[in-house]
């Protein structure tokens, strides 16, 4: 009974991820061996991760990207003159922190939009 009330209060406070993680911990006998601080830390981590994922999903939706499914892991290097090391370096986005720009050029159909 106390568990249901706690979960209802968490949902009322809009802490849905904590509520779900709490229920998962209640069902998992291995979590009983963890102390309070560890369990609380796991709950807070779950909420933070859920919020970050929701924010990222919202930003991607608002960006209205034509190729929203594109990711670097799907990049096909065969037949293209791409430097893997350079692509990995650019993927760190250090160039953003350094206030630099990137210009992607090439003929039609080589994947500039996908890479961008």
Q: What is the pLDDT of residues 61-90, one digit of tens each?
A: 898 877 767 777 877 777 777 788 888 888
**pTM for the whole structure:** 0.62
Cβ–Cβ contacts within 10 Å for residue 45, how many?
A: 13
d(Cα 82, Cα 4) in Å, to the nearest integer? Answer: 55
Mean pLDDT over 14-32 rounds to 94
CA pair distance 101, 80, nearest whole angstrom: 22
Q: What is the pLDDT of residues 41-61, one digit of tens each?
A: 999 999 999 999 999 999 988
Domain map (residue ranges) of the chain: 1-64, 67-116
């Amino acid at each position: 009974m106390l568990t249901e009330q706690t979960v209802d209060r968490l949902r009322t406070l809009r802490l849905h991820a904590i509520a779900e993680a709490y229920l998962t911990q209640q069902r998992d006998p291995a979590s009983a061996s963890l102390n309070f601080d560890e369990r609380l830390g796991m709950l807070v981590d779950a909420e933070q991760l859920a919020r970050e994922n929701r924010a990222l999903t919202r930003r991607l939706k608002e960006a209205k990207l034509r190729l929203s499914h594109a990711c670097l892991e799907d990049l096909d290097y065969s037949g293209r003159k791409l430097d893997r090391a350079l692509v990995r370096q650019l993927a760190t986005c250090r160039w953003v922190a350094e206030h630099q720009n990137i210009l992607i050029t090439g003929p039609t159909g080589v994947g500039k939009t996908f890479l961008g």
